Amino acid sequence: MEMLEGLFHSIDSMNVDKFLSYLSEDCTFKFGNSEPAVGKEAVRMAVSGFFSMIKGLKHELLNTWEVKNTVICNGEVTYTRKDDSKIKLPFCNVFVMEKGKIKEYLIYIDINPLF
């Protein structure tokens, strides 16, 4: 799916503005078991804060499913820590779409091993 390619490229390049272009203005963004961020500015703060804690990341999508207005994907993400060590973690994302934008962005991951 073309939207996913662009979305994950924006994440892997840590380009917050490009990432936000895929979201609706009132998007809800939930990363793991953190509190949801609601609205683009709250998402900007959450994502920028996370990016500041790592050196880099790279996603590999393994499967993608589309059901009505929902896109689900799973894969592995390799995080590069500030000390250049790396860790690969499995993830599953759920995107509820509205008018071509992500209205609800849910990331299911155990991020604890990263830190």
Over pLDDT 90: what percentage of the chain? 95
Query: Which domain does 108 fall in, by range?
Result: 2-114
CB atoms within 10 A of CB 25: 10
In this predicted structure, the answer to whether residue 86 has a pLDDT above a threshold of 90 is yes
Each residue's pLDDT tens digit, 88-114: 999 999 999 999 999 999 999 999 889
CATH number of 73's domain: 3.10.450.50
In this predicted structure, the answer to whether residue 2 has a pLDDT above a threshold of 90 is no
Phi and psi at residue 81, in whole multiples of 5°?
A: -80, 170
- Classified as helix, coil or strand, 41 is helix
35 exposed, middle or buried (CB, 10 Å; 0-12, 13-18, 19+)?
A: exposed
